[in-house]
């Protein structure tokens, strides 16, 4: 059980576009254990984790954050080279989102509580900043923490006159070693809140203090950290973050309200009714063929799978309506004549054939603008 009689911290790992996992975790903690956030001594974050930490500390609408994550990912996926295309400016999109969503008193709320992990360019040392003089200070610190060299640009941004880059390069999970720190990571490993992949591998990789287990699930996540997946997969990651956070709260007896407001998990719930229904079907099948043990085992597995799906649906229904609505609206594809024409095979082939000629020009224009 997590000790609440002493001070504690929260720490969010850097993870690129997988940061929407943190939004699911933040949503669960806000809804089911708000004191775990409000009473935390400090909230640490690196790169995308710093964005999640700032959202929590500054009281930003998580639904808008989720929508922005998906919109930026969709914008990156539109390009033939993905986020590496010169016309895609991640720093610009990130800055616009922060200016739009952060409150005007963000620096007052963040000072002393929000700790952003940065990597100093001059010597490569890690720096944790928690003092901010204005809203622009908070925005600039978050941009520095998320700035991946070459991927985001060639000239590192500055914070209070010093150039910094992605904090994940030097410390991707700040204060992970402290026992009173609740660590959050979208990679399965030894973090307090993280996915639990069904893997028999006991090997792990420590990447700047982040525990990453050797398995196929993490390999896929690593490949999607800088190259975003489809919006539907991002939604699944958000749901996974909510589930993992809920599991942590239950295991440590930190739940402050029932996680399933529309259907309890006690006797008489819909899940129990579904379980009994399938159990009755199993009994009838046993009377018809009592000797067929393999069929019985298969049916029991089907019952377990279907029951788990019902539980997952209940978890999803308990997410705040604003986040649910924002995710669905962000995933909706905007129709139109131009969008329809651009998806035609002849147009796509022509675009690919012209790329060797257009790409250098776009690169030169983009470099000059930046």
Catalytic residue numbers read: 47, 166
Task: Name the strand (E) or helix (H) holding 242.
Answer: helix 231-251
Rg of the Cα atoms in the chain: 23
Question: Strands 9-12, 181-184: parallel, antiparallel or unpaired by DSSP?
Answer: parallel
What are residue 183's phi and psi, to 5 degrees?
-95, 140
Q: How far apart are CA 335 and CA 70, in angstroms?
A: 17
Confirm if 114 and 130 have CB atoms less than 8 A apart. yes
Q: What is the 3-state secondary structure (H, E, C) of 52-120?
A: HHHHHHCCCCHHHHHHHHHHHHHHHHHCCCHHHCCCCCHHHHHHHHHHHHCCCCHHHHHCCCEEEEEEE
Q: In a 3-state reduction of DSSP, which class is residue 203?
A: coil
CB atoms inside a 10 Å sphere around CB 170: 20
């Amino acid at each position: 059980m997590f000790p609440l009689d002493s001070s504690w911290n929260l720490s969010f790992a850097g993870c690129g576009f997988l940061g929407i996992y943190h939004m699911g975790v933040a949503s669960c903690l806000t809804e089911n254990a708000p004191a775990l956030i409000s009473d935390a001594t400090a909230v640490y974050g690196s790169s995308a984790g710093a964005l999640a930490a700032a959202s929590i500390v500054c009281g930003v609408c998580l639904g808008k954050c989720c929508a922005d994550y998906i919109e930026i990912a969709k914008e990156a996926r539109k390009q033939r080279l993905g986020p590496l295309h010169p016309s895609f400016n991640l720093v610009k999109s990130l800055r616009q989102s922060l200016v739009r969503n952060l409150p005007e008193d963000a620096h007052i709320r963040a000072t002393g509580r929000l700790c952003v992990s940065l990597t100093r360019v001059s010597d490569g040392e890690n720096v944790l900043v928690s003092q901010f003089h204005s809203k622009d200070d908070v925005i600039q610190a978050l941009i520095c923490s998320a700035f991946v060299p070459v991927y985001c640009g060639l000239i590192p941004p500055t914070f209070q006159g010093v150039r910094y880059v992605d904090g994940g390069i030097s410390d991707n999970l700040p204060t992970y070693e402290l026992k009173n720190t609740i660590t959050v990571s979208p990679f399965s490993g030894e973090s307090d809140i993280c996915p639990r992949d069904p893997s028999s591998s006991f090997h792990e990789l420590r990447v700047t203090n982040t525990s990453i287990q050797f398995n196929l699930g993490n390999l896929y996540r690593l490949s999607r950290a800088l190259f975003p997946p489809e919006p539907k997969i991002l939604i699944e990651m958000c749901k996974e973050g909510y589930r993992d956070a809920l599991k942590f709260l239950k295991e440590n007896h930190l739940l402050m309200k029932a996680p399933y407001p529309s259907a309890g998990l006690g006797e008489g719930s819909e899940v129990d009714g579904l379980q009994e229904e399938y159990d009755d079907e199993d009994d009838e099948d046993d009377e018809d063929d009592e000797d067929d043990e393999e069929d019985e085992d298969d049916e029991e597995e089907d019952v377990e799978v279907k029951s788990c799906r019902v539980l997952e649906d209940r978890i999803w229904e308990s997410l705040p309506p604003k986040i649910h609505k924002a995710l669905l609206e962000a995933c909706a594809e905007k129709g139109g004549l131009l969008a329809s024409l651009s998806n035609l095979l002849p147009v796509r082939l022509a675009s690919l054939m012209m790329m060797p000629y257009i790409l250098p020009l776009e690169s030169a224009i983009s470099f000059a603008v930046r």
